[in-house]
Amino acid sequence: MLKKISSLLSGIFGCKPKNGKSDINREVEDSLTAFKNRRIYKKLTKEIIDSVSDDDLVQVVFDNICTCMKPDYSNDYDVVIKLSAGQQSIYSTWCVEAEVNNGGFNQFYFNSSERFADMAVNGFLLIGAEQHYKLMKEANKVYSENKEKLGSYNDGTLQSFSESYKDNPLKELDKIFYELEEDLNELRVKYIRVHYQEFIQ
C-alpha cells in the first residue's frame, strides 16, 4: 500500500506525460479497468476464499452477495435479511462505510441504506469493530430523535437533500467516524477467513 501511495504521489508531482497521458492517469485508468473486469463469483467455496488476497476478499464476498439482487438493488434488503450473520455484517457495514465516506451519516439515512442501520450495529459488533459499533448506535439514536425533522427534506430533489445538511445533528458524528482508527477491511477479512462457512455455498 505504501509503495502504491508513493507511486501515486510520484505521478502527481514528478512524472511527465507520455503519449498524452501521465503515469497517474494511466494507473487510474488501469485500476478502473481492472475493477470493471474483476471476476464475480456466483458461488463461493473455501478454495476460492483461500485463493483471494486480503486486499480483494471483501470485494469478492460483497460481489457474491450482490449476484442475488436485481440490477437496481431494489431488493437488496429482502436478499440480505435471509443471509448468514456474517454476510449481513459485510453488506451492512460496507453500506455504512461507503455512504458515510461519500456524504456523511445524513446521506446514509437519507438513502434507502437506512434499512440497514440496525443490522450494521450488529455487523460492526460481530467483526469486532467496537468503536464503529458504539458510534453506529449513537448515530441511530440521533437519527431517531431527529427523524421527523430530517424526513421533511426528503422530497426526492437534490436541492432538498442539500438543505438537509444545514444544522444537521449528524455532522459531529461524521467527524468522529473519519477519525476512527479501526481498520474495517482488516477486521472483515479476519472474520471471513475464520468463519468462511458463513460465506460459502
Q: Write down the pLDDT at residue 149.
A: 79
pLDDT > 90 in the chain, percent: 67
Say which CATH class 41-198 falls into: mainly alpha
**Is residue 164 very low, low, confident or very high in pLDDT (cuts 50, 70, 90)?**
confident
In angstroms, rounded to a whole number, what is the distance separating the alpha carbons of residues 168 and 4?
37
For the stretch 32-62, pLDDT in tens is 887 788 999 999 999 999 999 999 999 999 9
For the stretch 100-141, pLDDT in tens is 999 999 999 988 788 999 999 999 999 999 999 999 999 999
For the stretch 10-39, pLDDT in tens is 444 444 455 555 777 887 887 788 778 899
Domain residues of the chain, as ranges? 1-37, 41-198
C-beta of residue 88 within 8 angstroms of C-beta of residue 81: yes
In angstroms, rounded to a whole number, what is the distance separating the alpha carbons of residues 89 and 120?
6
With CA atoms as reference, report the closest residue to 136 among 146, 127, 123.
123
Q: Is the pLDDT of residue 198 over 60?
A: yes
With CA atoms as reference, report the closest residue to 56 among 35, 85, 37.
35
Comparing 28 with 1, the larger pLDDT belongs to 28
What does each C-alpha distance from 77 to 12, 33, 80, 131, 165 come to in angstroms? 41, 29, 5, 25, 26
